[in-house]
Amino acid sequence: MKTRTHFQRAHVERKTFGDFVCMACHNFVSAEAALSGVHNRNHCPYCLSSRHLDLLEAGDRLSACKARMPPVALSLKKTCKKYANPNQGEMMIVHMCEGCGKVSINRIAADDDIGTLIDVFEKSAGLDSCTRSLIALDDVLILESRDHHMLRAQLFGRI
């Protein structure tokens, strides 16, 4: 019968379930909510890549695909508030699965690299029409170049 090493016991005791190594940039990613500001870490804060794990709803981890989901654009989460300004929603990262083409949106975490977020925003202007159409099918509106000031305000506060 094997006994657990000190490291294995410490890992279990700290309850670090959810930590992972990014399959894109290979950095270690902590799922600690105190670092990220989110309770369900689902993308790398360095390269913003995700992995296709969920099938029916967030957190179910039932997808058989498991392919990489690179960030392709930024979007605003639609608000349910009747009189809200359409540009006041929460900033979201749009991911598209390289394996099956599934589109998902994920909230930005407090420790996400701002430079990488801006890079994703700038690269999304060059998305081909086919990719834009696939994203639109999921009722996700991509931020456009004209939204640059709004993006900066969301990331840095009123400028």
Whole-prediction pTM value?
0.79
Task: Note down pLDDT in tens along the chain; length 159 residues.
Answer: 455 454 444 444 344 468 899 999 999 999 888 888 877 788 999 999 999 988 888 778 888 999 999 999 999 876 665 555 555 678 899 999 999 999 998 989 989 999 999 999 999 988 998 888 888 887 888 999 899 988 888 888 865
User: For residue 121, what are the CA distances in angstroms to 92, 125, 142?
Assistant: 11, 7, 9
Cα 140 from Cα 136, distance rounded (Å)? 5
Question: Looking at the DSSP assignment, which residues form a beta bridge with residue 71?
Answer: 95
Q: Which two tokens stand for residue 146?
A: 């004209």
User: For residue 159, what are the CA distances in angstroms to 92, 115, 147, 151, 154?
Assistant: 20, 17, 13, 10, 10
Residues 97 and 64: beta-carbon distance below 8 Å = no
pLDDT at residue 84, rounded to an integer:
53
